[in-house]
Amino acid sequence: MNPTLPADDEARLIRAAQDRDPTAFAALVLRHQRRIRSFLAVRLRHHHDVEDLTQEVFVTAFRKIDQCHSDGPMEPWLRRIAVNLLSNHRRKFRATPVGHGEELLASLDQRIETYCEGDREVAALDALQHCLGEVEDSSRRLLQARYEQEVPMEDLARQLGRKASAVSMQLHRLRIALGNCIESKLQSGTIEPT
């Protein structure tokens, strides 16, 4: 299924799915599953959680397909389902914070949520990748160590021969700079939605 089909084709598929045509619903799943999976992947740590919640989004969508309006795009409706399921998942499996990693996720999530309408989120994620590419190597290595490899703050400080508070402040400044860079690229149109 081509994800760039015209809106009237999507409206036709939604109406057919509401009439309980399983082929039409399968076509809608194929059309939207990559974006919904990506939407969840940037918000969840474990691949199996992403896959489980993606599947749950479409099971819920199938059960509630009559609530989907065929006169508009389906993706925002699917994202609302995903956001609700993600909130429930986070409440149920709330991890005990062990450092400041949640700050980056919260900060970037908040900024990306601003651009969560349709293709804007994909543009925000593209902007984040571009912005990370513009960060100097030592800062990028620090971000990767802290947020990808989840190196504890105290260990980072020890490795860098600095106080943990100084490293925490540097990470805070990098988060702000990344957020500002993302906003700037999106507002200037430097990154076009795909």
112-156 per-position pLDDT tens digit: 454 444 456 666 667 777 888 888 888 888 888 887 777 888 888
The ranges assigned to domains in the chain are 7-92, 101-188
Write down the pLDDT at residue 68.
92
May I ask the CATH architecture of the domain 7-92?
Orthogonal Bundle (1.10)
Evaluate if pTM is beyond 0.85: no
Fold exhibited by the domain 101-188: Butyryl-CoA Dehydrogenase, subunit A; domain 3 (1.20.140)
Taking alpha carbons only, the member of 7, 82, 15, 14 closest to residue 50 is 82
- From the number of C-beta atoms within 10 Å of its C-beta (0-12, 13-18, 19+), residue 26 rates as middle
Band (103; pLDDT cuts 50, 70, 90): low
Is 188 in contact with 182 (CB distance < 8 Å)? no
Return the pLDDT at 25. 94
How many C-alpha atoms does 9 have within 13 Å on its Cβ side? 9
Residues belonging to the chain: 194
pLDDT in tens, 60-92: 999 999 999 888 889 999 999 999 898 888 877
- Residues 38 and 190: their CA atoms lie apart, in Å, by 21
